[in-house]
């Protein structure tokens, strides 16, 4: 899949802590995308990183008013645009 990556579009893993971003795209299979969406991770939603655990550990994010912890592999498939 070819995606146009401008400066501001990046995987969630590269977003700095406490910076606001908007989710632009979800990669991965249909089941995976659905799993994210029903938990609140959807296109056009605002997302912020609250904390990162060291040594490739999970991220905790705020999205749609709630906190979620997700593994780094999953975060890599969430494409965001920094605001």
Partner 1 sequence: MKKIVLMGNPNVGKSVVFSRLTGVNVIVSNYPGTTVDFSKGKMKIDDETVEIIDAPGIYSLEPSNKAEKVAFEMLKEVDVVINVVNATNLERNLYLTLELLERDIPVIIALNLWDESKHLGIKIDEKKLEKLLGVPVVPTVALTGEGIKTLVSRIKETKVNEKIKPTSEEGRWIEIGSIINKVETIEHRHHTLKDRISDLTIRPLTGIPIAFGIIFVAFWIVRFIGENLIAYIFEPFFEGVYKPLVMELSNWLEPGLVHDFLIGQLIDGEIEFVESLGMLTTGVFVPIGMVLPYIFAFYLVLSLLEDSGYLPRLATLVDNVFHRLGMHGHGIVPMFLGLGCNVPGALSIRTLETRKQRFISATLLAIAIPCMAQLSMVFAIFSSSELGSGSWHYTPSSYIFLVFLTLIILYVIIGLILNKFTKGDNPEIFLEIPPYRRPSVKTVFKKTWMRVRWFLREAIPWLIFGVFVIGILSVTGVIDWIGVVFEPIMEGLFGLPGAVSIVLLTGFLRKDLAIGMLLALASTITFSPMQLVIVATILTIYFPCVATFAVLIKELGVKDMIKSAAIMVGTAAAVGIILRIILLGV
Cβ atoms of residues 41 and 26 within 8 Å:
yes
Site for partner 1 in 44-83 (CB under 8 A): 50-58, 60, 64-74
Comparison of 6 and 65: residue with beta carbon closer to partner 1:
65
Verify binding: residue 11, partner 1, rule CB under 8 A. no
Comparison of 7 and 30: residue with beta carbon closer to partner 1:
30
Comparison of 7 and 55: residue with beta carbon closer to partner 1:
55
Is the C-alpha dihedral spanning 5, 41, 22, 71 positive or negative?
A: negative
Verify binding: residue 8, partner 1, rule CB under 8 A. no
Q: Which residues contact 77 (CB under 8 A, 6 or more apart)?
A: 11, 26, 27, 28, 32
């Amino acid at each position: 899949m070819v995606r146009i990556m401008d400066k501001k579009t990046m995987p969630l893993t590269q977003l700095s802590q406490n910076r606001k971003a908007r989710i632009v795209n979800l990669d991965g299979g249909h089941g995976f995308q659905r799993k994210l969406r029903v938990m609140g991770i959807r296109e056009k939603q605002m997302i912020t990183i609250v904390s990162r655990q060291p040594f490739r550990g999970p991220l905790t994010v705020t999205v749609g008013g709630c906190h979620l912890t997700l593994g780094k592999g999953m975060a890599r498939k969430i494409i965001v645009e920094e605001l």
